[in-house]
């Protein structure tokens, strides 16, 4: 009987560890601001990407909208140690950077307290990033 109880306890412990251990996502607070050197009339799309490995394409974990230039704060669920924040003035409404649209992006390292230092994005007319 003792072996059965010990075995069941061990099994329950392993199962609980597996549930907690496998869910390596964590909620991270990302804050910052979006600025531009010219007037912006379209909504600004903010895309938050999880950077798990620098050799892999980051995965979008949240898309949000800003009605105007200014500050933002979002909580995103990620597995990596960095978050990429991409802002696009999405004039054509396709959710991606298109030629001629203002955009900016920055990577932010996640700190031990599950926050990042404020991300400052200044929108510009540089070539759009390769998005997959």
pLDDT in tens, 49-85: 999 998 899 999 999 999 999 999 999 999 999 999 9
Question: Among 82, 74, 13, which residue's Cα sits nearest to residue 46?
Answer: 74
Whole-prediction pTM value? Answer: 0.79
Please give the pLDDT value at position 9.
42
92 vs 94: CA distance, rounded Å: 6
Confidence of residue 119 (pLDDT cuts 50, 70, 90): very high
Residue-averaged pLDDT of the chain: 84
Q: Which domains does the chain have, with CATH numbers?
A: 25-123 (2.60.40.1120)
Whether 21 has a pLDDT exceeding 90, the answer reads no
On the CB side of 91, CA atoms within 13 Å amount to 10
């Amino acid at each position: 009987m003792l072996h059965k109880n010990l075995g069941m306890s061990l099994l329950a412990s392993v199962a609980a560890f597996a549930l907690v251990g496998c869910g390596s996502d964590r909620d991270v607070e990302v804050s910052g601001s979006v600025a531009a050197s010219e007037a912006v009339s379209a909504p600004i799309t903010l895309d938050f990407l999880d950077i798990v490995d620098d050799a892999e394409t980051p995965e979008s974990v949240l898309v949000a909208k800003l009605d105007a230039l200014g500050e933002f704060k979002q909580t995103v669920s990620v597995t990596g140690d960095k978050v990429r924040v991409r802002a696009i003035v999405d004039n054509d409404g396709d959710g991606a950077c298109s030629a001629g649209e203002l955009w900016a992006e920055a990577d932010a390292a996640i700190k031990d307290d599950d926050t990042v230092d404020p991300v400052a994005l200044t929108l510009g007319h540089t070539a759009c990033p390769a998005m997959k």
